[in-house]
Each structure stands twice: as C-alpha cells, then as structure tokens.
Amino acid sequence: GQLWRALTAAQMARLQQPLERILEAVYSMRDRTHCYILLDSLESVRRGGRVDRLMPTIDRVMRSLNLKALINVVNGELKLVGVARSYQKGLERLKLEMARIAPLERLAVIHTRRAEVARRMADELAAQLGFPREQVLVRETGAVLAVHAGAGVTAVFGMSKA
C-alpha cells in the first residue's frame, strides 16, 4: 500500500501538481487500501512482542486446533479478522475479503517463502475479480513483515476504485 502511494506522489510531483492535490490523492489511496494477512503460525508475532499478554494462551489454543489467524491492519494496528481451520480455508477467506471491497484499482499478493501459493492466489483473484493478471503485483515480503509474521505468510492488498 505504501509503495502505491509513494509512486503516485512522485509521479504527481514530477508533473508539478500542487502539494494539496498530491496529499488529497495519497490520503484517498490510504483510505481505499485494505490489507489482509494469513499467518501460518503466531509464533513470530508472539516473539515480536507486538501483542498483549494473552498471546501465549491464544497461540497454544490455535496450534492445538490447527487454526490459522487472519489479520488486517487498521490505522497502523493489527486486528484479528477471524480464524480458518486450515491454510487453504484461510486463502479462500482472503479471496472473499478482496471480493467484498471490489471493484479494485490495484491488487497485490505478498508472501514469505510461499511463491507458488502467491502466484496461484494472484491467478485465482484475477480470474474471480475480473482484474488483469499482468497488473497483479506478486512479491516476497520485506524484512519487517518477515520478522514479525514469520515464514508461511500470504497477504493480499487491494485498493478499491475511487
């Protein structure tokens, strides 16, 4: 989401657009961008210290029931969206969340060590949403998400059309 905003701001600045118009565009993009993350495990989140004291208990329950957490980022904070009984069901839930905010202007699938899963997700989302596959960004995540979320993460970012 931040990449899309930075590129848009740079392009608008290069075209000598007024600062007010650039800020308006960036804020609009921020408000229309949604991120949903499927975690394979809560271990890295727990070790990262970004959650409260209940995390060890929640982590044990989720591991014992083989549940996968679905989270999103709202105003810079992680929020639990729900849980899935398997990784595959979690992927299906990610697709439902993107369908809920469609039609989309931009779409990305980000992953840690799940390149094939991410490519398949991009193919399926493009087909389901009628979004051009060549415009779906598929990338391995950066260091921050990799460290805090661990291996096996699949995330989808979608920007609703204005």
Q: Which of 81, 78, 112 is nearest to 98 (CA)?
A: 81
Residue with tokens 């979690």: 90
pLDDT of 73-105, one tens digit each?
877 777 888 899 999 999 999 999 999 999 999
**Cis status, amide bond into 18, omega within 30 of 0:** no
3-state SS class at 113: coil
| 29 or 80, higher pLDDT | 29
pLDDT by residue (tens digit) across 102-145?
999 999 999 999 999 999 999 999 999 999 999 999 999 987 77
In our burial notation (b when 16+ CB lie closer than 10 A, e otherwise), range 73-112 reads beeeebeebebbeebeebbebbbebbeebeebebbbbbbb
- C-alpha dihedral (148, 150, 155, 159), degrees to nearest 10: 20
What number of other Cβ atoms are within 10 A of residue 122's Cβ? 21
